[in-house]
C-alpha cells in the first residue's frame, strides 16, 4: 500500500510562516482533498487549536489588513481561498526577531487550494487580484475588539509590494498605525 501524504508543509523565508499544499485527487466527478487534519498539522509545527472560522468576500483591488490581536487573545491564522486569488502577506512584528519588520507573501487561489499558516506575533493582510475572492481562515482565539491591533497597509518601512495600482481600503484600515508606533507586546524567543 502506498504511504499517502495529504499535505506538503513548506517553511517560507521567515520559517515560522508555513505554506501548506494539500494533495488533490481528481477524476471525472471533480476533485477531493483534505483541507485540515490536526495530527498532520501538529506533527509539522502547526500545533494550535483553532476555535473560530472567518469568511470574507471581497472584490478586485481590496486590501484587508494588516491585522492581529495582542496577548492574551493573540491569534494564529490558517488562511485559504475558496474562490478567486489573493496576494497574502504575513509581517513579523516580534520584537528582537531577526526578521522583525520583514514580510513574506504567497499567492493563494482556488486553483491550488494552498493554505498559509500565520503564527501569533505576525500581522496579516491580503489583497484581491482576481475579479473577486472568497477567503476562509481559522483562528486560534476568538475575536476580541479589546485586543485587536493593526498596521497601515502602506507603511513605508515595511514597503510591501502590493500587486495592484488602485487599492480599495476601508476607512478603518486607512487610519492605522505605523509599525514603529505600534502597541505591541510580542517578543521573539529563539526555539533552537
Q: Where in the sequence numbering do the catalytic residues fall? A: 67, 137
Alpha helices in the chain (DSSP H): 38-43
d(C-alpha 46, C-alpha 136), whole Å = 17
Helix or strand (DSSP H, E) at 19: strand 18-22
Q: Report phi then psi at 43, rounded to 5.
A: -75, -10
Identify each DSSP E strand in 49-174 by its residue range. Answer: 52-59, 63-69, 77-83, 85-92, 103-109, 115-118, 122-128, 132-139, 148-150
Q: What share of the chain is helix, strand, coil (3-state, %, to 5)?
A: 5, 40, 50
Q: Are 106 and 88 in contact (CB under 8 A)?
A: yes
Residue 130: count of CB within 10 angstroms of its CB: 15
Amino acid at each position: 500500500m502506498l504511504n499517502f501524504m495529504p499535505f506538503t508543509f513548506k517553511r517560507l523565508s521567515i520559517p515560522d510562516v508555513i505554506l501548506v499544499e494539500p494533495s488533490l485527487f481528481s477524476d471525472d466527478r471533480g476533485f477531493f482533498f483534505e483541507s485540515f487534519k490536526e495530527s498532520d498539522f501538529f506533527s509539522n509545527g502547526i500545533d494550535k487549536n483553532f476555535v473560530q472560522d472567518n469568511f470574507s468576500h471581497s472584490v478586485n483591488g481590496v486590501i484587508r489588513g494588516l491585522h492581529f490581536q495582542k496577548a492574551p487573545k493573540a491569534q494564529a491564522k490558517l488562511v485559504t481561498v475558496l474562490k478567486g486569488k489573493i496576494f497574502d502577506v504575513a509581517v513579523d512584528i516580534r520584537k528582537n526577531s531577526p526578521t522583525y519588520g520583514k514580510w513574506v507573501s504567497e499567492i493563494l487561489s482556488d486553483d491550488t487550494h494552498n493554505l498559509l499558516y500565520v503564527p501569533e506575533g505576525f500581522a496579516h493582510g491580503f489583497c484581491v487580484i482576481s475579479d473577486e475572492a472568497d477567503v476562509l481562515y481559522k483562528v486560534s482565539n476568538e475575536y476580541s475588539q479589546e485586543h485587536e491591533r493593526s498596521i497601515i497597509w502602506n507603511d513605508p518601512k515595511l514597503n510591501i509590494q502590493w500587486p495592484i495600482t488602485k487599492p480599495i481600503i476601508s476607512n478603518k484600515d486607512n487610519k492605522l498605525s505605523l509599525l514603529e508606533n505600534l502597541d505591541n507586546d510580542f517578543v521573539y524567543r529563539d526555539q533552537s
